[in-house]
Structure 1
Amino acid sequence: MGSLVPFQDLNLCPEPPLPATVNISTSATPSATINRTTTFNFLTPKIEPKQEPFDEPTPTQTIHQQENFLFSVSNSTPDFIPNPETTPPANASSSADDQNALYSEYFRISELFRSAFAKRIQKYGDVEVLDPDSRAIVPVPEQSQLTPETSPTDGSNLERALSVVVSRKKAGRSNELVRVTNLGIDDQRHFRDLVRRTRMMYDSLRVLVISEEEKRTGPGNGRRARGDLRAAAVMRDRELWLNRDKRIVGAIPGIEIGDVFFFRMELCVVGLHGQIQAGIDTLPASQSSSGEPIATSIIISGGYEDDEDSGDSIIYTGQGGQDKFGKQCMHQKLEGGNLALERSMHYGIEVRVIRGFKYENRVSGKVYVYDGLYKILDCWFDVGKSGFGVYKFRLSRIEGQPEMGSSIMKFAESLRTKPLSTRPMGYLTLDISMKKERVPIFLYNDIDNDHDPMYYDYLVNTVFPLNVFGQGSNSTGCDCVSGCTEGCFCAMKNGGDFAYDYGGILLRGKPVIFECGNFCQCPPSCRNRVAQHGLRNRLEIFRSRETGWGVRSLDLIQAGAFICEYAGVVLTRDQAEVFKMNGDTLIYPNRFSERWAEWGDLSRIFPEYVCPSYPSIPPLDFAMDVSRMRNAACYISHSSSPNVLVQCVLYDHNNLMFPHLMLFAMENIPPMRELSIDYGVADEWTGKLSICN
């Protein structure tokens, strides 16, 4: 059961009113305790936020920041964009930031477009303007108007379904300051699953938006919509952002230290950091119970030359005084985010710290890692390296927290290059696959003398009975010489759409995926050849006191990316009965939970969304023997909230009864985090899960 720890009263009045404390208990979170403090409204001048650079575009995209954010989201107006009717004039503040200037120009252009050109566009048939007062060029149909014929999954209606309906009445962020304490195990699982499903929805939307744009323009051609921005706008319009109804001080339920994010907008979606560009997230003075701003989180990404970061201890430079090139050009003032950090230090309020740094990946070239809670110990005014006065804050990491995610990522990087120098003891072998895989697989045990994985022959791919290749197979393939395109033979086999984007990311889980095979004319680089290329991330089989043998990656694995195949020797039902009598270890694929249906599930976005049922596949009626030959996947542990899903794939034959079991990431998996699968129901005879280890 949770305990009630009142959030401290920040009122500085001679006779401060008692804080209004409310104990919230729901069936989903029976022991979650949320402490609220009443707030009062005060007027405050507009303050320049501490700016941080936007996410870098993907290598395959040439993106103009203003056009893609402001025009590719179908004229959306999230609450972090100021209302043009209430935005102060340009001379209201000498330190007006570039972001507001960017948005004010957007509203001016969009208003001119709506009033002067909408009817002309309608006249020439470019778009349909149903409502002259609509702020969306392509209005979204009401939920009651969505029918199977206008389902968003149809290509012709997908753009309309992804459009954002702008509402001036949408509520902004709450001004209620709360702290969540003493979550029970069930509460932790509930919130973790909520965050996982929200992030999975965000990633699914993001890759879907980019994929639809690639259909129109082709890969790497022209300026395309930022999928991260548009996905966030759509989810915000459907009120799917988390933690909008409260301002949480301290840890966010469901977000773990070490979680990795590729985009700043994703931080906003889950409520970890509420500013799309400012490095300091605050409760403004106008919304604070004491009339003073309070800081809740900061992002450190190297944007200020006077920052000093040694991990557990940080010297953080305040906001303001920089020109458009990021150079300090004037003295900082104790206002806005600077004052919020000083007040948080005064009241002893901790702040969340997120580190942003460049990281070699194919998504954004940069990552953001949540590193936990820090206390602000000191604040002073100093002369910076540029000669101008800056405010500095000394932060210290609160003890007793898990290791910082940024430190783990640096440790994993050193393991990839110099494993024996970084960790000289514990390695049983530096490649258990004996160079059968494209990348080495480490075997590590620093706990006991168990060497069990070394006693098995390593399998790269599943071994099928010979008659599998003669049943249901044919010699027909696509004739796409330079790579498969929409409408080709292999696309039709997959229901008209490919399962992967051009980066090899799974767009939507299906009962089975047909990849191009030996009889296809397309090259190995074809977008429809992903899982058959095998392992790409460096894995490590390791010994754990909690789960026995487990598997983790030394690389950062992107959500939707292929990991490896679950390999073994396939047995028919009759053969499995004989092997089971001998006590051999068998895996039953039909018992794996159908987590593939969760990847790409946009039912909360589109009410008429239907889970893919084509291509269909019969129930899997075979077993896999892993008692003598196996691969790294056989050591992945079980979890009811897994980060890996099993997807059936066919490429070397077309026998639907014997697909390959391919593993894909359900979320961004940081280096050194254990992989997990939902193995499904227990064995009817033994009552145990069919896990080989």
Structure 2
Amino acid sequence: MEKILRNENDISGGIENVAVPLEDKEYLKNCSDFVYSLQNIPSLEFQEKSWAEELQGCECEAECNRDTCSCVKQWGANYNSDRLLIASSDRPILECGKTCSCSSGNCQNKVVGRGVRLKLQVFKTPDKGMGVKCLESIKKGSFVSEYVGEVIGVKEAKTRTKFMAERPSYCCNYILGVREKVNGSDVDTVSFVDAMYVGNVSRFINHSCEPNLKMVVVRHTNLIPKIALYASRTINEGEELSFSYGPSCNKAILGSTRSCFCKTDSCSGYLPFDDSLIESSD
């Protein structure tokens, strides 16, 4: 993958639908190895798996609806006429994608696949490093951005976590886990998305114990999970965006975590992370 020429006016290098400006241009020097991408980059492990194959798309000739579209009928309607999320987060979300014959530009069931549409800005926070705010108000249920990165398996995620833990200079952990139960199974299917070196604007969104965004797993075109971020409430113009990085971590390893500076009433004091990636010393 080629690196994209970026500047403080647009860290995406012109590949997003809207420019993503950077408030502190000096920060560009600190992320010279970062590659901006609009979509997940599957590792070789996932490229070789059958579930990375393309999904069969719908055969709608015009706009999709819940009565005729095979994508919508499978699990139910995901969005209203304003493309605001109405689906519950406890069920799969299948959007129309590149393999569908519908009018993808106007399809009501294509939201995440359309990419970022809001005016977002990366800025320097007082005590949390970089953050992201929106330069316009956001309605509850609006899609904000996909959390993009490299899709990796458990073994690689553990290797990368250990690498970062042994190097204090790596101040951030960008690995998010996706756990799902398939076909009623009690066993979790696990994959991870790492935005350390490959990602998009969501890489800069901070954690909060009282977030204004929520994570929802969405699929379109193939079965590789996409972590979509939606507004969980109305967000005011200029307000910092945030989502929960995960449940509170195991108290036995709190000494290995970083402090949380969200300053909310319910702040746990620590940034959550997936403690299953920490190898036991026993």
Render the CA deviation track for 1:352-401: whole Å, top value 9, x for unaligned.
xxxxxxxxxxxxxxxxxxxxxxxxxxxxxxxxxxxxxxxxxxxxxxxxxx
State which of 462, 467, 486 in structure 1 corresponds to 2:40.
Answer: 462
Q: Please state how far the C-alpha of 1:500 moved relative to its aligned partner.
A: 0.4
Higher relative contact order (Cα pairs below 8 Å, separated by 6+ residues):
2
State which of 518, 527, 536 in structure 1 corresponds to 2:108.
Answer: 527
Counterpart AA for 1:558: K
Q: Please state how far the C-alpha of 1:527 moved relative to its aligned partner.
A: 0.8
Aligned to 2:122: 541
Cα gap change, 1:615 to 1:664, in 2 (>3 Å): farther
Aligned to 2:161: 580
Cα gap change, 1:531 to 1:615, in 2 (>3 Å): farther
Aligned to 2:242: 676
User: The residue matched to 2:202 in structure 1 has which SS?
Assistant: helix
Render the CA deviation track for 1:297-321: whole Å, top value 9, x for unaligned.
xxxxxxxxxxxxxxxxxxxxxxxxx
Do residues 622 (structure 1) and 180 (structure 2) align?
A: no
Q: Please state how far the C-alpha of 1:586 moved relative to its aligned partner.
A: 4.2
State which of 251, 257, 271 in structure 2 corresponds to 1:687.
Answer: 257
Cα pair 1:637 1:675 within 8 Å, conserved: yes
State which of 201, 207, 231 in structure 2 corresponds to 1:638.
Answer: 207
Counterpart AA for 1:435: G
Q: Please state how far the C-alpha of 1:662 moved relative to its aligned partner.
A: 0.5
Cα gap change, 1:681 to 1:628, in 2 (>3 Å): same
**Could you say which structure has the higher helix fraction?**
1
1:228-627 matches, within 5 Å, as: 429-445=8-24, 450-451=27-28, 452-453=30-31, 455-465=33-43, 466-467=46-47, 470-471=50-51, 473=53, 475-488=55-68, 489-494=70-75, 497-510=76-89, 511-524=91-104, 525-583=106-164, 585-590=173-178, 619-627=188-196
Identity over aligned pairs, percent:
25
User: The residue matched to 1:532 in structure 2 has which SS?
Assistant: helix
Cα gap change, 1:513 to 1:429, in 2 (>3 Å): same
Cα gap change, 1:434 to 1:516, in 2 (>3 Å): same
User: The residue matched to 1:429 in structure 2 has which SS?
Assistant: coil
Cα pair 1:499 1:508 within 8 Å, conserved: yes
Cα gap change, 1:661 to 1:475, in 2 (>3 Å): closer
C-alpha distance in structure 1 between counterparts of 2:120 and 2:107, whole Å:
25
Cα pair 1:512 1:615 within 8 Å, conserved: no
Aligned to 1:649: 218
Q: Please state how far the C-alpha of 1:441 moved relative to its aligned partner.
A: 0.3
User: The residue matched to 1:485 in structure 2 has which SS?
Assistant: coil
Cα gap change, 1:574 to 1:533, in 2 (>3 Å): same
User: The residue matched to 1:579 in structure 2 has which SS?
Assistant: helix
Aligned to 2:167: none
Cα pair 1:504 1:561 within 8 Å, conserved: yes
Cα pair 2:218 2:227 within 8 Å, conserved: yes
Q: Please state how far the C-alpha of 1:554 moved relative to its aligned partner.
A: 1.0
Cα gap change, 1:554 to 1:470, in 2 (>3 Å): same
Q: What number of residue pairs does the alignment pair up?
A: 237
Q: Please state how far the C-alpha of 1:582 moved relative to its aligned partner.
A: 2.3
Cα gap change, 1:491 to 1:472, in 2 (>3 Å): same
Q: Please state how far the C-alpha of 1:571 moved relative to its aligned partner.
A: 0.9
C-alpha distance in structure 2 between counterparts of 1:440 and 1:474, whole Å:
30
Cα pair 2:72 2:95 within 8 Å, conserved: no
Counterpart AA for 2:194: D
Q: Please state how far the C-alpha of 1:437 moved relative to its aligned partner.
A: 0.6
State which of 229, 236, 251 in structure 2 corresponds to 1:663.
Answer: 229
Q: Please state how far the C-alpha of 1:498 moved relative to its aligned partner.
A: 0.9
C-alpha distance in structure 1 between counterparts of 2:24 and 2:52, whole Å:
44
C-alpha distance in structure 2 between counterparts of 1:646 and 1:532, whole Å:
16
Q: Please state how far the C-alpha of 1:477 moved relative to its aligned partner.
A: 2.4
Cα pair 1:580 1:586 within 8 Å, conserved: no
Cα gap change, 1:620 to 1:670, in 2 (>3 Å): farther
C-alpha distance in structure 1 between counterparts of 2:189 and 2:9, whole Å:
35
Aligned to 2:280: none
User: The residue matched to 1:556 in structure 2 has which SS?
Assistant: coil
Cα pair 1:438 1:534 within 8 Å, conserved: yes
User: The residue matched to 2:156 in structure 1 has which SS?
Assistant: helix
Cα gap change, 1:485 to 1:615, in 2 (>3 Å): farther
C-alpha distance in structure 2 between counterparts of 1:578 and 1:430, whole Å:
35
Cα gap change, 1:542 to 1:620, in 2 (>3 Å): farther
Runs of 4+ in 1 over 4 A off after TM superposition: 472-475, 613-618, 682-685
Cα pair 1:586 1:690 within 8 Å, conserved: no
Cα gap change, 1:444 to 1:468, in 2 (>3 Å): farther
C-alpha distance in structure 1 between counterparts of 2:198 and 2:217, whole Å:
20
C-alpha distance in structure 1 between counterparts of 2:127 and 2:37, whole Å:
26
Counterpart AA for 1:687: T
C-alpha distance in structure 1 between counterparts of 2:182 and 2:71, whole Å:
13
Which one has a bigger Cα radius of gyration?
A: 1
Cα gap change, 1:432 to 1:450, in 2 (>3 Å): closer
- Structure 2 residue runs of 5 or longer lacking an equivalent are 1-6, 165-169, 259-270, 274-282
Q: Please state how far the C-alpha of 1:567 moved relative to its aligned partner.
A: 0.7
Q: Please state how far the C-alpha of 1:682 moved relative to its aligned partner.
A: 4.6
Render the CA deviation track for 1:631-664: whole Å, top value 9, x for unaligned.
11111111111110111100021x3xx4100111
C-alpha distance in structure 2 between counterparts of 1:472 and 1:461, whole Å:
14
TM-score (norm 1): 0.32
Cα gap change, 1:484 to 1:542, in 2 (>3 Å): same
Cα gap change, 1:515 to 1:536, in 2 (>3 Å): same
C-alpha distance in structure 2 between counterparts of 1:687 and 1:543, whole Å:
22
Q: Please state how far the C-alpha of 1:469 moved relative to its aligned partner.
A: 6.6
